[in-house]
Every structure is written in C-alpha cells, then in structure tokens.
Structure 1
Amino acid sequence: MFLSRFRPLRSEKKLESHVTHYLIPFHPKMKSTIDDQNNDIPVVDPLPVKNSLFLDLQESLYRFQCMLVQQSSTDETIECNITNHYQSILDKIQSIDQLEYTSETFDIVHMVFRTYISDILPLTDKYEDILSLVLSTKINFNLEALFKENESFTRRVFFSTHDLLALPNMIDYLEGKQKETQTYQLKIAMSVIINRLQLISTWITFEKDDFNDQESILRLLLKFINSNIHSDDSIIKQLFNLLIFLTEKTILVPSFINAGFVIYILQWLEMEQLPYEIQGSCIHIFYNLAQKIEGAKALNQADGLRILKDCTYRLLDPNIINGQHGFENMQLLYCMAMSLLIEPKQNREYVKNHRRILDYLLQSIIDASNMDNFFYADFHISRPIVVLTKLFVQDEIIKYVLDEAPVKNFPLSSKVEFFANLLIRFRGALTMDEDEANPLTLTALFNILWSISFHDEYLSQLQTNRQFLLTVKTFAYDTSVMEYERYVFANMSSIFKAANGILLNLGENISTRVHESSNITVEQPLVTSIANPSNRINVMISYSHTNADFCHDLVNALQKDPRLDIWVDFIYCRSGDLWEEISEAIENAHVILFIITKEYQSSKSCRQEVMYARDTLKKRFIPIYLKNDFVANSWLGIRIVGAQYIRFGKRSFGDSITEILNLMDDNTSQKQKQNVFKQTQMLTTPIADPVNVQDKILDKNLHTSQNRSIELIMNAVAGQTKPIEQWTFEDINQWFEQNNIESKLKDLYRFQHGNDLLLYGQCLQPNWQYEYADMRERYTREYNEILYRDQFVLLVGALNRL
C-alpha cells in the first residue's frame, strides 16, 4: 500500500525561540540540561511546578535501576525489594490514565519509555510489563489532538522520538548486535518509534536545517533496510512508509541526499526479486527526491533515468503485473518521476517520444477533478498538476496537451476551459489552512494558465471567461497573497506574479502599483534620460534569479564605466513581484541586456520582460549567453535571432565586458542611419538589427528628422490604404479599437483628423513619460480612476507604428 496522500500541514506560525517546558531529551537545537544527581536522567526546562507523578516515577525508575545493578552482584539479597518496587512502578504507570490529556502527561509516558529502553532493558529483559503497560496508556492513542494545538510540542516530540534511535540499545538493534533475549522488545520499541515519527510528520512544519544533525541516524536506517530488505519483516515496510512521509518534505531532501539515499534507492530498484510493494515504495521515494532540484540532479548523475526506465518492463506491464494492488499508483509515480528527471526539449520529436507520459498526467488530473476529494488513486490532484507546471514551460508540450492529447470522461469542449474552471474551483484554497495540497494546486494552476496565456490561439477562450477573469483580478490586486511563498515550488512563480502576468498577456487593465514605502513614482524615471548633457547610457539587465551570482558580477564590472546608468531589480525593486518598476525600467532603457540561460528561457517572468521590451516597445537589446552549451530556441530564439550576442566563457571575463561596452557604443552610433521602410517591415519579421522604429519615438535625441514627408509616414502604416491625413473621426475610432487602446482615452482626446494623431505623436517625442503624467492626472479627474502605464504605452506604441 502506497502512503502517498498529502498529509495536512498546519498553518505556519513563528516557533517559540525556546521551549518553556520540556522533560525529555531534545533535538540538538533545543535547550537541554542534565540532572547529574538523578543518574543522568535529563530534565530540560522544567515546569514551574513539576507534575508529582512525573517526579515520583522518575525517582522510582532510578531506584529500580539501582536495585537491579545491586542484584547482579549480590544475587537474591534484595529480591523482595525489587518485586515490591516493580509492582509500585506498574501501579503508578496505570494511574497515568487518570490524568488529563496534556503535553505534560505525554512527557511522563515518554520518560518511562525512554528510561526503560536505555536503562532497564540493558540490565534485564524480565520486566517487559513496564514497556507493554506504558505503551497501552490512553494518551498514546490521542496524540493528534495535542499536535493540532501545540506546534512547539509537536516539534520537540518528533526530535526527542527520533533521538531514541541513537540510544546504544537501538543502535545495537539496527546493526544486528543486540542480545537475542532483547530482540522482541527492541523490535516493539522500534515499531513504536517509527509509527510515532510517521504520525508526527503529518503535523510538523520542518525547517531547513532540522536534519543536518540526523544524517548519521539516516545512514544507519539505510544500512538496516539494506541488510533486511529481502526479509518479510514488518519493520522494513514501516520504515519505507516513514521515509515516504519524510522525503515528501522537500526541505529535508538535501539531508537525505547527503545520507546516501540516492545510491541505496537506485540499488534497490535494480533488485528484480523484491516484493512489488517495496519496489513501489522505492519509486515513490525516487519521485519525492526528484521534486527537489538537488534531488533530480543527484538522481541523473547516478544514472537514475536509465534505472527508472528499466523498471517499467517489470513493474508497468499489465500482462505481467496481473492487477497488482497499487498498479495505478505505480503508473502515476513513474510518469511524474520521469517528467521531473527528463529535461523537456522544444521539438515535436520529444513530444512524440513522451506522449504516453503526457497523456497519463493529463488523464490523472481530469480523473482527480471528477472526484469530490480531488484524488486519483492515492494521489491528490496537486501532484500531477505540479509536474505539468514544469513541462508547460515548453510551447510544444502546451500545444500537444491542449490540442492533441486524448482524454476520457471529459465533458468540456476545450482543455483551456478545463484549466480555467479548475482554477475557479480552487479559488478559496488559501483560506484552508489545514491542507497544503489545495494552495499548492491553486499556485500550480495559476502558473499553467500563465504559460497558456502567452499563446495567441488560446487568448480568446480566457478573455471571454468572465468568472475566470474576475478570479484572476481578485488575486492580482490582493498583495496579501504574496505571503504564501511556501507553496511556490521550483519552476513556479507566486500566485500574485502569475495573476498579474496573465492579465498583462490578456490585455487587461492591471495595476502597476508601487508600495507605499517606495519613494519612486512614475513621474520620476528610475534612470537618467538620454537627453542629459553627459550623454549617458541607460542599461536595464533582465535575468533569471537562478543566475543571480553572475548578474551581480556583471553589474559590478559594468558600474566601473562612468557612462552607464544600470538598472537591475536587486538594486531598485522594492518587491520582486511588482511589474510596475520593471516595466518602467524597460521603458527608460536605451539598451537591455538579456542574460540567456536555460533557466531564463524557462522563466515566465523573463518571457514577459522580453516580450514587453522586444515586441511592444521594440527596444534595443544585447543577448548575453552565460554558458557555452546552451542555445536559445522556441519563443526566445525567435526573438533574438540575428542579434549580435556575447557568450561568456569563450574568453576572459574582462574581455567579455569590453565586448559588451563596444557593442553598446556601436549600437548608439548606428541609430540615425536606418531606413523607415526597412524598420517598418521589421515589425512583422525577426529583428536582425537592434535599431528600429520604436527607438525613434521613445528616445529623445535619437529620433529621425521631423521633416520627413507625410507620404513616407503614410506608406509605413501596415494594412492602411487610406492616407492618415485623410482619416476621419470614424477612422480614428476604428484605429483605437484595432490597437486595443482604452476607449476612455479616445473620448478624452477627441481627435477629429489623422493629422491630429501625427502631431500628437511628435509631441510625445521629447519624453512621452511627461505626457503620461499629465494624462494620468487628467484621466483621474475625469473618471475618478487610475490610468496605468501599460494602458498609455499601448497608445504610444500605436502612434509609433504610424
């Protein structure tokens, strides 16, 4: 049976800096003191008033241990005292059930359990009633209520329970060195420890370094499994289930990698004679490790992809498996693990070779969506959706899934509609604090739909879905959703960023907000105008945050040139999620540096920046390749084809910087030399020269002569047969509509003739942003609404195309 359901993760709270009461050994990060007077029985941060039963039992166990030690040297001289004391201990343990279900009561149970394993059992195995009685106390069966109420208690119980595995007796058991007479009781103790850890792992919120000091125990568990994996020991199955639970916590994956999990998991997957259930558990852990970038890298380096493929012939052949329990789970696990390991390529051949995986992922999502609890087999819908999010960075995969992939039990006419409606169904997920799966699903769906919205053929389906648009706008305007960053996995952006990205692609009016704490306003450009006397160059750098270290080095090097005013988000942005500041920097830039990497091409945020700079504003740009082995393709390759680029790594870092500076100088000196007809044609073809018409409108000192003829301008208008100077009021209205310009702007201007447009376009040439500031104020007075920058840019771009 695969333990694959998402377990509830309680809303995160700031953990207490220290534990105010703790009566059992702590994880190394927690405060602990040792009471040397009580035979090294630890008492940590005691309660202001200790529970009398705790103290009584602690003292009784200590005395009992001393009597047993004396008995070993004096035979039966104190036998009577031992018997009486033993019965007294049993009576006190039974009285635990009379106490309330509190953390203090559980501390008593845990103290007795630990003391018996560490101090009593090594001396004799004759008093196992202590173990059986303490494990049968009622509080052992009511722990979830305590975990639900007290997160700090949950953490300390997890780590104190985990630390029991480091007791000498337990280490002997894991290494197979225990006394034969102790095996039975140690096995019971091991089972209790595993089950308790598994229970707590459904409630605990782990932190980054929690397992750094536990890797030696993890290695010990791996060796124990490896030595007993062919046995029918129930402990082995329990351990696999526990490891499935723990490796699902992606924050812990680096510790599991360091402990050697990758080597052991791959080794076990190659063992053909293992029980089907154990092999399924291995694939499940394989998938869990692959969810983390470090895990996928480690698995690929260890030949994990080949080993996983080899498993399919014996694990996923229906003719061989013959209806094995868990077959559907195994199929989905395999498809998800493969998708996480394979680097999707932007071509039809890749799609053809992996159609079965793509089909199965999509069908599992559809099947899960038809269930009330959103589960397919034993998996929540979030699992395959998160995997699909990674794959949807490739356009060919998007088109195959949406247009070609076969589906069953699908009542809708469109898969785009399916994903949009599914997002609507999960719109309340962030209010469900008790389950991390639903917010994760919502985050993944926003990212999937953001990827879809980059494709013109699907836009109308999204634009006409009013409930979908309302849902997206709700999240785009709510900055509080930025608090849910913990649901943002690799290859994903936050809900806030994705929602704003979707609206931008759909041409909707989105808010380009600036936080109240920011002193930057749209009336005050972030970078110096090109018209300044020093003739400085405004440079904007667009990059993936995965390559932040290189970007910092690049900025430090370029800042040594006094001519450059450099804009990069880690210097100027008040928030990485605000498009306002980034778009303003793009608008003000004379040249934009795209740091081209695989991660850049996969980033939807970077794609938005390139499209705004290259497609909307026709800005000059320089592609900078960070690595020798990557060549841009797909949407990015199309947009930078023909442009002169720099590739770092071919020569020294300093020489590459010099090359960038020279290329900036060359581009600036060429700017006045282009023919208007060539530039107009470049609007619909890949740009081979970074100089274009848009620069002449937006840059103050680099526009062409204002004496160019009206006839030349008229002929440059794509698709217009009527000269602009002859345009009527109706023609102007049609032009506003064709360019998706806000109708209220049209009403404000009230242009009557084509020449009005041409003259207004010339008025924008000194600096269109000053005009935007004036129009924004006028727009607010007239309509009591805000005119956002992206709305005005549509007008500027349309005038430029005239």
Structure 2
Amino acid sequence: MSFRTTDKQQQSLSKDFNAPEIFKSLKSALNPDVIQHQIPKESIHLACVQLRKNWSILLDFTYINTTDNEKEHNVTSLIYIIKTVVEIVGHNDLDENILYRDSFAEFVRILPKLAMLESVSETFSQDSKFAREIFYQLFQLINDSSYLRTYIEKSNDPSYIETLNADISYRSELYDIVLYVIFLIAKTITSSAKFRDNDLDNFKKLFETFRIYVDYYFENTQQTFSIPDVFFYSDPRNLIICEYLSILWNLADKPSVVRVFINTGYPKAVLNWILISELKYEHRLALINIARDSVGENILKENHAVDILRHIKDSILGSGDSGMDLIYYMAVILLSEHYQIEEALTTDLDVTATEEAPATGTSMKKVISYLYSFTIYLCKEVIQNNVMSGMSFHLSELVVVLERVFIHDSVIDYLMTIKLFEIDHIELFCDTLIACRGAYIDGDKLGKLACVSLINIIWSLSFYDDSFRECLLKNVKLIIVIQGLAHCNTQAAKCILCNLKLPITTETTIEDHQLSDMSKPLVLISHSFNDRSFVERTKDELKQKYDDKYIIYPLFHTDSNDLSELTAKPWEQTAAAIEKAVLVLFVISKHYYESKSCRQTAMYVLHKEKRRIILCPNNTEENYCSKGWLDSLAGQSCECSSFIFPDGHLTESKQEIEYKEKITKLANEISSLIEKDKKPNRLTTLNRQNVSSICTIC
C-alpha cells in the first residue's frame, strides 16, 4: 500500500509547520533540565496533531546535515523519525505525561504510512548499496536501544508482559508499531539489496532473539492467516511476524548470509513453523533456502525433515500453486538421502511414503521430472534471452538441486531418455554454461552458484559413458570454456578435462613437497572430508604396526567450497600422488558415494590399475560398497581386499578389541601387497614434470 500527498493536503498545511523543530521540542519536553526548550503540555498535544495531520510531507524536511543526494533524502529523514520515536517511547518521563503520551501515540500509529511511501521503495530499488547501509542502521538501532531490545528479549516472559500491560500498556503497542515499521522497511530492502559474506555476523545474537520471539508467538497465537491489509485495523504482532518471516525468506535466499540463520537455530525452528497449517505458503519458503546449504541440509536431515514434509504434503500440493509444488519437490530431493532417491526412482515410489502414509501420486520420477521441466525452461531463457530468472525462480535455485540427483547414474539414465522434451539434454547444459560463463567471474553470488552447479552437472555427465564423453568433446565452445575455467584453478573443470583425456595446462608446476621423497613405497588413503576422524585414527594405528616401512598419506576429498582452513588437494597433485602410489586404501561411506571428487579419484585409480583395499568405517556403511559406481572398485579384475570395521569409539569394549584386530590384519595385508608389487616404476621417483604432461595421460 502506498500513500501520496494530494494538492488539497498541501494547501491545508500550516504556514508555521516545521517538523524538525517540533521533533526537537518533543524530545526536550521530556528533559526537565532543559527549561528553555520546554513547551506547555497543550502545545505538545497540538504539535503531535500537526505531525499527524501533515504526515505526508514529513520526509521532505531536512532533519540532520548530510550529503545525501535528492533520492536518498526521504529515506534518511524516515530513519531520523524512527530513531526519534524510539528515543521518546523509551523515555521514563513519558509515563507521567499522559496528554503527551496519548497524543504522541496517535502520531506513532501513522508511521507505517511513511514506510509505505513509493519514494522509499523506489530509492531502495535504485541503489542497492544505500539500501544495504539503511538495513544496518535499522538493525543497529534495535541493538543500541536497550528499551526496544529488552522488549523483544523478554516478550516470551509472561511476568514481564503482565507488568508491561498493567503499568504502561501503551508502550507495548508503540514498540510493536516501531518493530513493524522497521521490519516493513527491512523486507523491502532485502528483496533487492546485495549482501556480502559475513555481512550479518554482528547481528547473530539479534537474529537468535527474533527466532525466540517468533517461537513464542506461534506457541501462543498461530494466527497469521487472516491479516487485514490496513495496519491499524489489525493486531500489530501479527504483522511483525509476517514481515519478519518475509525478511527471513529473502535473506536465506542469499548464499552469502544464510549461514547466520543456520548457526542461530533456524533450521529446527523452521521445521516446527511449517507444520502450522495456518502459516502462509510463502512463509514456508525459508526451508528450501536453508536446505540448499550443506550445513543447513545436514541439520534438517538430523531433525527428520522428510517426515515433516510428509505431514504437510497434502496441504502444499493441493494449493494449486505450481511454484509451491516445485519448492516442495526441491525440498524432498535435498532432504532425502541419496539411497532413498535411487531406490524410489528404481521402484517409482514416493520417497516420503510410509506404511502409515502411503504414496499419493508424488513418485520420485514425477518429482524429478517436475524439477527438470522448470530447469529446461530457465536454461532456454539463459540461452535465448541471456536472463537467469523466470517464473519467480533463479536458475541457481534449480540447478543446485538438480546437481544433487546427478550423482546417481540411474537418475541420468532416466532423464536422458525421458520423452517429455524434444531436446538434446547434454547440449542444453553445455550451451547454458557457455551462455552464462561470464557470471562465474563477474556475476553475483547466485550467478556464480548457477555456473558452479552447471559445471558439476557436466562433470557428472563426463563419468557416465563413452558416448556422453564423445558428445562433450564435439562441443568446441564448451571445451574452450572448460579449459578457461581450468586455467582459473576450477577443480571440476580440471577433472572434466581429465575424464575427456585432454591436457590440463596451468601457469606453474604444482608439486606436493610431502611426496617429494619417494625412497619408500607410498600408500594413499582416499576418503571424504567427513570421515577424517576415522582416517586419522587408522593412520596412527597403522604407523605403530608398519614402523615407517612405507609412507601412508591421507588424501581427503570434498565437493564443498566453504572450508576455510582445510583445502582439498588440487587435481594435479591428486593425479600425481596416484601415479606414485603402490596401493590405495578407499574409505567407503555414504559421504564417499555422494562425492564427485571421490568418484574422480576412484576412477583414476581404476584407470591406472593400482592395487586397492576397501575400508568401511563401521558396519552401517557396508552396503555402500556395492552401490552404484562404487561397485566397480571391487568388481574389476585388479586384486582388491576389503575390511569392515566396527565402531571404534568405546575404548574398553569388544568393539575396541575387534578394531585393533582389524588394524593388525590390515597392516599385514598392506605389507603383503607391497611385497607382491614388483613393478619398478611404482617404487621409484617419477621424473619431475609439468602438470600438463602428468594429466595428459589421464
């Protein structure tokens, strides 16, 4: 809703109306020590009436000396007014001045009109940087106001609320109005402003407080379904919650700041909120944004997100909103385990179905096809019109989810043969990456995320079979793009070139100094980053057994780009290490199965026909040894042993004893395989050579 000043209103203004002087007088009137600025109570009442009467031009005045340009002036004035209102509402002397407080409250009730002026929203949409600065000012205002912050923090304390209602009930209403106005402006800002990494870290405590505030509201009201359009005919608390949930949705949609919410308890809270049947559909959207982040995804899975999706399935899919259907399907894919997706696709069942809640027409094939159809539409938009958004979605939102299911060859089997679309599927993804490649270097976070996911999809296709690799090789423009990305040290691009048996060129030779001394046989441990604790313990135990007769070297892999301290080896170093190794130990787990980096290493080891041993960290991971592409590790002709370890966390138990016994057998097996290896080039140091020549033979 927007409000404009009419000519009639302009003509009715008092010639003596001076908003800045009125605000100064109102603040001074609460300070008994500033006699010269005090005005009679009746005059205070009239001043508040003037403010209320002339609300539509309040932003035209200059309240502080700034260098704002004309477009920013109105917003700066609005922030000044909000800060002044917060200062006055929090003043203790306001309690005793009933005429003042009642008149002032009437003025405060029209603040939402100021926030809804079109000039405010237009300013934010035209200047993203300025909008971001205003967002900080608003949230810092809440942080700095002890009165307002205390009100939010103690809003779930019944005794505090009772005291507030009994003694100064007007404050509760005014605080609610101020919060609503702040959130209303912040929602407008977050819909268009661009945030940077760690931008919101200073407000973690505040976001945690807001989460508790929303929790308490839902526990006691759950009335977000019938909110009138006009503010002052509605419960302010309802509107605060609605605006804040919209802020949450907008911010969680931004990869650079979503971790703030993940680290302050929102994944579990959102799962509880979406179960509320009265909650608006659009306010459930934060779930999918949190799930797109790897840490958020794991927390949601730990809290049985798929079970909760099953509970809300009928209400979402029955809404008739295709966008909400897509969001639900994306959530199902992101929050299901990979083996569940694969099994559901094979049996054509609903991944959320149980004996108590059978399938209702949402088979995995339908889920994936629905997502794929939207993705194809947006890919065509990129290719034909050079735009990355459409139908209320950004391309990154879809390809990030699609990338997850491309881990499974069975999914690729299904999608590549689907008859719904008369397109060349491989060519579609290649041409989309070619069209939006500039976003990888110069684009925003979402544009780069879309490019990364497209590269990873093509990476998955390069594993599939020779016919797919031949199609990729024929696309000359794609190869040029991939080579350029590889030159920028994009690991996925280097791995694609390796799978296509093309050389990798870099500016400098990369050498791992830890592997420069090859006087002893090299044994690699290939593992997922998530299994590092098992690997470190196993390495230490083995060292006690083999007494430095060979070098044992952990080689961890990750598909994630957000590890700040530990970084996986560049592919050149990984390939060189495999070349030098006489034996590779594979730590098989669900994390290993789900990682393209792990698959890349495993396929290269197979190509080089290295001896290998399979290790399962515990009994629960055993089934992964024969799943999908992992079956090839034990299924090819080269000699391969396997060891299944019990859980080794209990030091004085049978499991611990069994673990020690397995280590002894493993150490003996490693020594035996090294003795069998008679090929001289496996025990001698490779000539130092450029990375390009190493990877040419991939």
Same fold at TM > 0.5: yes
TM bin (shorter chain): 0.7 to 0.9
What is the deviation of 1:467?
Answer: 0.9
What is the deviation of 1:339?
Answer: 0.3
Identity score, percent: 21
Match of 2:534 among 541, 550, 562: 550
Q: Given residue 118 of structure 1, which amino acid in structure 2 is its aligned partner?
A: G
Does the 8 A contact of 1:504 with 1:510 survive in 2?
yes
Task: Identify the residue that residue 334 of structure 1 maps to in structure 2.
Answer: 328
Match of 1:244 among 249, 253, 260: 249
Does the 8 A contact of 2:152 with 2:209 survive in 1?
no
Task: Identify the residue that residue 181 of structure 2 maps to in structure 1.
Answer: 192
Task: Call closer, same or farther: CA 1:306–1:199 in 2, change over 3 Å.
Answer: same
Q: Structure 2 length as normaliser, TM-score?
A: 0.73
Match of 1:501 among 484, 495, 500: 495
1:660 aligns with 2:669: no
Task: Call closer, same or farther: CA 1:423–1:549 in 2, change over 3 Å.
Answer: same
Distance in 2 between residues matched to 1:153 and 1:77, nearest whole Å:
33
Q: Given residue 305 of structure 2, which amino acid in structure 1 is its aligned partner?
A: G
Distance in 2 between residues matched to 1:122 and 1:430, nearest whole Å:
58
Task: Identify the residue that residue 518 of structure 2 maps to in structure 1.
Answer: 528
Distance in 1 between residues matched to 2:95 and 2:183, nearest whole Å:
21
Q: Which residues of 2 match residues 500-649 of structure 1 at below 5 A?
A: 500-511=494-505, 514=508, 526-529=516-519, 536-560=520-544, 561-569=547-555, 576=568, 578-615=570-607, 617-630=608-621, 631=623, 632=625, 633-641=627-635, 643-649=640-646
Unaligned runs of 5+ in 2: 1-17, 229-238, 350-363, 558-564, 648-654
Distance in 2 between residues matched to 1:398 and 1:450, nearest whole Å:
12
Match of 1:350 among 342, 345, 349: 345
Distance in 2 between residues matched to 1:188 and 1:541, nearest whole Å:
60
What is the deviation of 1:544?
Answer: 1.4
Task: Identify the residue that residue 353 of structure 2 maps to in structure 1.
Answer: none
Distance in 1 between residues matched to 2:148 and 2:210, nearest whole Å:
7
Q: Deviations over 1:619-671 (max 9, x none)?
A: 11222212321132211222124722223325435444333221111213344
Q: Deviations over 1:162-214 (max 9, x none)?
A: 66694345667787755665566444323211123323433333528545423
Task: Call closer, same or farther: CA 1:270–1:562 in 2, change over 3 Å.
Answer: closer
Q: Given residue 247 of structure 1, which amino acid in structure 2 is its aligned partner?
A: A
Task: Identify the residue that residue 493 of structure 1 maps to in structure 2.
Answer: none
What is the deviation of 1:270?
Answer: 4.1
Task: Call closer, same or farther: CA 1:206–1:58 in 2, change over 3 Å.
Answer: farther
Task: Identify the residue that residue 216 of structure 1 maps to in structure 2.
Answer: 209
Task: Call closer, same or farther: CA 1:441–1:233 in 2, change over 3 Å.
Answer: same
Distance in 1 between residues matched to 2:325 and 2:302, nearest whole Å:
24
Does the 8 A contact of 1:60 with 1:89 survive in 2?
no
Q: Deviations over 1:392-440 (max 9, x none)?
A: 1111112211223x434x4x3x21111111111111113544x322111
Distance in 2 between residues matched to 1:121 and 1:308, nearest whole Å:
49
Distance in 1 between residues matched to 2:133 and 2:106, nearest whole Å:
31
Task: Identify the residue that residue 437 of structure 1 maps to in structure 2.
Answer: 446
Task: Call closer, same or farther: CA 1:81–1:611 in 2, change over 3 Å.
Answer: same
Task: Identify the residue that residue 731 of structure 1 maps to in structure 2.
Answer: none
Does the 8 A contact of 2:526 with 2:556 survive in 1?
no
What is the deviation of 1:117?
Answer: 3.4
What is the deviation of 1:601?
Answer: 1.7
What is the deviation of 1:359?
Answer: 0.2
Unaligned runs of 5+ in 1: 1-52, 71-75, 480-495, 530-535, 673-695, 701-766, 777-785, 795-802
What is the deviation of 1:377?
Answer: 2.4
Question: Partner of 2:493: helix, strand, or coil?
Answer: helix
Q: Given residue 295 of structure 1, which amino acid in structure 2 is its aligned partner?
A: G
Question: Partner of 1:116: helix, strand, or coil?
Answer: helix
Does the 8 A contact of 2:138 with 2:182 survive in 1?
no
What is the deviation of 1:333?
Answer: 0.6
1:95 aligns with 2:81: no
Distance in 2 between residues matched to 1:611 and 1:77, nearest whole Å:
83
Match of 2:376 among 362, 366, 381: 366
Distance in 1 between residues matched to 2:169 and 2:567, nearest whole Å:
63
If you compute each CA radius of gyration, which structure gives the higher value, 1 or 2?
A: 1
Measured on the aligned residues, the alpha-carbon RMSD in Å equals 4.1
Q: Structure 1 length as normaliser, TM-score?
A: 0.65
Does the 8 A contact of 1:513 with 1:578 survive in 2?
no
Question: Partner of 1:769: helix, strand, or coil?
Answer: coil
Match of 1:399 among 413, 419, 422: 413
Q: Which residues of 2 match residues 121-520 of structure 1 at below 5 A?
A: 124-128=101-105, 131=108, 132=110, 136=114, 140=120, 142-143=123-124, 148=129, 154-161=135-142, 166-168=148-150, 178=165, 181=170, 185-201=174-190, 202-205=193-196, 207=198, 209-214=201-206, 215-231=208-224, 232-233=226-227, 235=239, 236-249=241-254, 256=261, 261=266, 265-272=270-277, 274=278, 278-317=279-318, 321=319, 324=320, 327-345=321-339, 347=342, 349-351=344-346, 352-353=348-349, 354-371=364-381, 372=385, 373-404=387-418, 406-408=419-421, 410=422, 412=423, 414-433=424-443, 435-456=444-465, 457-479=467-489, 496-511=490-505, 514=508
Task: Call closer, same or farther: CA 1:58–1:458 in 2, change over 3 Å.
Answer: same
What is the deviation of 1:476?
Answer: 0.8
Does the 8 A contact of 2:611 with 2:640 survive in 1?
no
Does the 8 A contact of 2:148 with 2:175 survive in 1?
no
What is the deviation of 1:510?
Answer: 1.3
> How many corresponding residue pairs?
591
Does the 8 A contact of 1:527 with 1:567 survive in 2?
no
Task: Call closer, same or farther: CA 1:506–1:446 in 2, change over 3 Å.
Answer: same
